[in-house]
């Protein structure tokens, strides 16, 4: 089987915003699995396999080396998969060997779009999920802003993020579970030390958080979709208000400043305008060595610009000191996973109704150190591209589509043509660009310098 890895030689500076810094980077992408349907949550199982939800209602285990896929549930009865709704987040019990439970979040339609949190039991002898038990139900969401991401905490409880379902006022309504981060026990009970006695509500004032990560010292981070401005990374704390819909991003207008004082609002660690559509979030510990450039950083998958962000943290984890953007050329990115030994996997979301899927989408890929010589899991066709004297050359075995993008992932031009073709780059200003080319079987990304 020929080796098929996508080399990324990235010098990224133009799309990072202060605090930022350009870096010379090179790593490779290895395709682990393809042909998936919106792999929404990807976890590392205690069996050494990837556990994955797909939004239409499927749960699978995927071997990280061979791409072998074993379906645990082919369909969950009643899943309502429209718009942004469907089968979403998943968590494995932290003591899985003794308590082989799997929690999932999915939507059903019961007169309104309802989010349910359901616990299954994994039967290893049959390699399937059994005995569904509803832990939470009747959480009002919508075709948009459903959340929902899980995070196991060191004390054995479970956090989950829930969107406000397109009804902003619910985020400030403490009698509603919408627009919140919730904390529950694995048996569905309310933890006695939750900030509001008898309530699952742990934090509130959130629009649509789709990423949660546990950092050094127990710090908890969340990603948050803004509206037309101010996508956020938050440092989440129990019993705190994150402002939505009265505050977007920082408390930097007179009405926002007043609301922040009155409501004890926590400002974000970082905010993006224009928005980047932040989704899955993971922490890369400083002790990990597989990809040492990511040490003590948050990794953020985004749905815009095909970009994975590295957010380097201060020593105490309370600030973001550096932001680096890596346009992977894979389309919409839904989730990012850091394994216990420091491997990094990313899933795409090109079949969610808002992407431009290729025939082999969606995918799970692994970021691997360059020159490891890891083979792809399937045979691919030959596809090469290079730049010479302000001309872009593409060599393929089939007709190709080529896009030239900024380092932020914005498409500048798209061409379609026959194999062995070249295109003029005379219209582009001098600088760094990315080129994505695909021929129906393989997608290739390469940075180029236009002199």
Q: Are residues 32 and 96 in the same domain?
A: yes
- Identify the three-state secondary structure at position 234: strand
Beta-carbon count within 10 A of 132 CB: 16
Least confident of 208-217, 257-266, 379-388: 379-388
Tell me the pLDDT of the chain averaged across its residues.
Answer: 88
Contacts of 394 (CB under 8 A, 6+ apart): 383, 384, 385, 400, 402, 417, 419, 420, 421, 422, 423, 437
CB 52 within 8 A of CB 60: yes
Strands 333-338 and 231-236: unpaired
Q: Give dist(CA 4, CA 166) in Å, integer.
A: 42
Residues 236-295: tens digit of each pLDDT: 999 999 999 999 999 999 999 999 999 999 999 999 999 999 999 999 999 998 999 999
Residues 73-84: tens digit of each pLDDT: 999 999 999 999
Q: Are residues 27 and 124 in the same domain?
A: yes
Count of domains observed in the chain = 2
Q: Are residues 353 and 391 in the same domain?
A: no
Whether 45 has a pLDDT exceeding 60, the answer reads yes
DSSP alpha helix (H) spans, 118-272: 254-263
The CATH number for 352's domain is 2.120.10.30
Say what the pTM is.
0.81
Residues 118-166: tens digit of each pLDDT: 999 999 999 999 999 999 999 999 999 999 999 999 999 999 999 999 9
- Residue 438 placed within a domain: yes
Q: Are residues 332 and 415 in the same domain?
A: no
71, 151, 168, 257, 286 from 281: Cα distances, Å: 25, 11, 23, 28, 16
CA atoms within 13 A on the CB side of 438: 15
pLDDT at 372: 60
Whether 448 has a pLDDT exceeding 80, the answer reads no
Backbone angles phi, psi at 262, to 5 degrees: -70, -30
Contacts of 110 (CB under 8 A, 6+ apart): 138
The β-bridge partners of 208 are none
pLDDT at 428: 83
pLDDT at 14: 34
Question: Residue 418, exposed/middle/buried by CB under 10 A (0-12, 13-18, 19+)?
Answer: exposed
Q: Are residues 219 and 164 in the same domain?
A: yes
Q: Are residues 14 and 159 in the same domain?
A: yes
pLDDT at 450: 75
Whether 19 has a pLDDT exceeding 90, the answer reads no
The CATH number for 444's domain is 2.60.40.3080
Residues 391-441: tens digit of each pLDDT: 777 766 667 788 887 755 567 888 887 655 677 888 888 777 777 777 665
Q: Are residues 347 and 266 in the same domain?
A: yes
Of 369, 391, 409, which marks where a domain is finished? Answer: 369
Q: Are residues 428 and 281 in the same domain?
A: no
Domain that holds residue 343: 6-369
Q: What is the mean pLDDT of residues 12-33?
A: 56
Q: What is the distance in angstroms between the CA of the first residue and the CA of the last residue of the chain? A: 37
Of 316, 336, 369, which marks where a domain is finished? Answer: 369
């Amino acid at each position: 089987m020929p080796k098929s890895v996508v080399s990324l030689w990235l010098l990224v500076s133009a799309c990072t915003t202060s605090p930022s810094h350009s870096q010379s980077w090179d790593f490779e992408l290895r395709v682990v699995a393809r042909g998936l349907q919106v792999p929404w949550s990807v976890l590392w199982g205690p069996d050494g396999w990837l556990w994955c939800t797909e939004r239409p209602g499927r749960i699978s285990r995927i071997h990280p080396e061979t791409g072998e896929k074993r379906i645990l549930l082919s369909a969950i009865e009643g899943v309502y998969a429209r718009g942004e709704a469907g089968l979403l987040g998943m968590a494995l019990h932290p003591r899985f060997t003794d308590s082989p439970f799997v929690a999932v979040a999915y939507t059903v339609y019961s007169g309104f779009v309802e989010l349910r949190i359901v616990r299954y039991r994994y039967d290893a002898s049959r390699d399937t999920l059994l005995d569904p038990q509803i832990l939470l139900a009747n959480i009002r969401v919508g075709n948009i802003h459903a959340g929902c991401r899980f995070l196991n905490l060191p004390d054995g409880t479970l956090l989950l993020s829930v969107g406000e379902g397109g009804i902003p006022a619910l985020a400030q309504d403490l009698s509603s579970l919408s627009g919140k981060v919730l904390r529950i026990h694995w048996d569905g009970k309310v933890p006695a030390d939750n900030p509001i006695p008898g309530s699952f509500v742990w934090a509130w004032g959130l629009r649509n958080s789709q990423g949660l990560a546990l950092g050094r010292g127990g710090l908890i981070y969340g990603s948050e979709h803004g509206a037309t401005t101010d996508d956020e990374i938050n440092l989440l704390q129990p019993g705190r208000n994150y402002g939505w819909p009265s505050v977007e991003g920082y408390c930097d207008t007179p009405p926002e400043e007043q609301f922040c004082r009155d409501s004890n609002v926590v400002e974000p660690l970082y905010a993006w305008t224009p928005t980047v559509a932040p989704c899955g979030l993971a922490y890369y510990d400083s002790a990990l060595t597989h990809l040492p450039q990511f040490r003590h950083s948050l990794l953020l998958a985004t749905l815009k610009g095909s970009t994975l962000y590295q957010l380097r943290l201060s020593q105490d984890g309370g600030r973001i000191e550096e932001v680096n953007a890596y346009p992977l050329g894979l389309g919409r990115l839904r989730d990012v996973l850091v394994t216990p030994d420091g491997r990094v996997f990313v899933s795409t979301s090109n079949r969610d109704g808002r992407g431009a899927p290729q025939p082999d989408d969606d995918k799970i890929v692994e970021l691997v150190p360059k020159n490891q010589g890891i083979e792809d899991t399937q045979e691919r066709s030959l596809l090469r591209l290079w730049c010479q004297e302000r001309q872009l050359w593409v060599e393929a075995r089939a007709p190709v589509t080529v896009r030239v993008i900024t380092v932020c992932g914005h498409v500048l031009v798209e061409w379609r043509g026959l194999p062995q073709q070249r295109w003029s780059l005379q219209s582009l200003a001098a600088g760094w660009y990315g080129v994505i080319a695909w021929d129906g079987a393989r997608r290739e990304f390469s940075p180029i310098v236009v002199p």
